[in-house]
Amino acid sequence: MLYIIFFIFGSLIGSFLNVCIYRVPEGRSIVTPSSRCSSCGTPVRFYDNIPILSYIILGGKCRDCKTKLSFQYPFVEFLNAALYVLALHSFGLDSISVLAIYLVFISTLIVIFFIDLEHQIIPNSITLPGIPIAVLLGSFVLPDPFNPTEKLGFTSSVIGFIAGGGSFYLIAVIGKAILKKDAMGGGDIKMMAMVGGLLGWKAIILTTFVGSLFGSIIGVALITIKGREWGSKIPFGPYLALGALVSLFWGHDILRWYLY
């Protein structure tokens, strides 16, 4: 029953994440006005705003203008719900505050994933306040995801913040000097500083590795299948978000597997 409650709650938050994904890049309020069809502008009725189910009932179309709605809407709702259930299963209810922080972090990564995928930006409105909050929470509240029986602590959090932001800043500087063009976006640098502050320096290593692995595989696939040119620009934030989720959920298991 608790898993069902978390799934429903996660899908409701996922519906709000869709608003953030759509409006934040445009600098619009995420509170007002109420949700409406992006094609005809008709406000969405409350009974058409049920996560996942409304999309299925309406056949993926606006009730008024019959314009096809993006599948991203129910997918984000389902993804957030599923990850909330996974978080409950992985971290339990022993520490409500830790679980709540991780839920917010998961939703933040989902928003970053889809905004960067569509617009190739990671908004400062997410990362700039996220960095100091991440360092504070990592220093004084959260456990080490690679050693859950111990606190992450101030030192590991600050080193993670420096390692995340600093290493990606160096990559950006060196890459631009060699390639004569931007090799790393500023949003990626700030995002990794936030991830490092919240999860520690070990997470930076695993997040970077996993993100680079996913990015390389998908990048080569796009070149092979869709004929993209080598050196074409692709957003790195979505792959880093995947890496951060892997670090959060399975970092401890991966470290044990690697060492033993």
* pLDDT beyond 80 at 37: no
Q: Among residues of the chain, what percentage have pLDDT more than 90?
A: 66
Q: How many CB atoms lie within 10 A of CB 234?
A: 15
Mean per-residue pLDDT, 193-210: 96
Mean per-residue pLDDT, 230-236: 73
Q: What is the DSSP string of 181-217?
A: S--S-HHHHHHHHHHHHHH-HHHHHHHHHHHHHHHHH
Helix (H) or strand (E) holding 24, with range, is: none
Is the sign of the CA dihedral 146, 251, 244, 172 positive or negative?
A: positive
Question: Exposed, middle or buried by CB within 10 Å (0-12, 13-18, 19+), for 64?
Answer: middle
Tokens of 93: 């209810």
Of 28, 40, 38, which Cα lies nearest the Cα of 72?
Answer: 38
Of 78, 125, 75, 126, which Cα lies nearest the Cα of 104?
Answer: 126
Q: What is the pLDDT of residue 184?
A: 77
Mean per-residue pLDDT, 62-67: 86
Mean per-residue pLDDT, 7-31: 94
* pLDDT beyond 70 at 232: no
Single-letter amino acid, residue 229: E
pLDDT single digits (tens) 124-181: 999 999 999 999 999 999 999 999 889 999 999 999 999 999 999 998 888 778 877 7
Mean per-residue pLDDT, 78-105: 96
Q: What is the pLDDT of residue 33?
A: 82
Mean per-residue pLDDT, 9-15: 97
In the chain, what are the domain boundaries?
1-88, 94-260
Contact 248, 199 (CB under 8 A): yes
Of 20, 43, 184, 14, which Cα lies nearest the Cα of 118?
Answer: 20
CB neighbours of 161 closer than 8 A, spacing ≥ 6? 131, 134, 135, 193, 194, 196, 197
Q: Both ends of the chain: CA-CA distance in Å?
A: 37
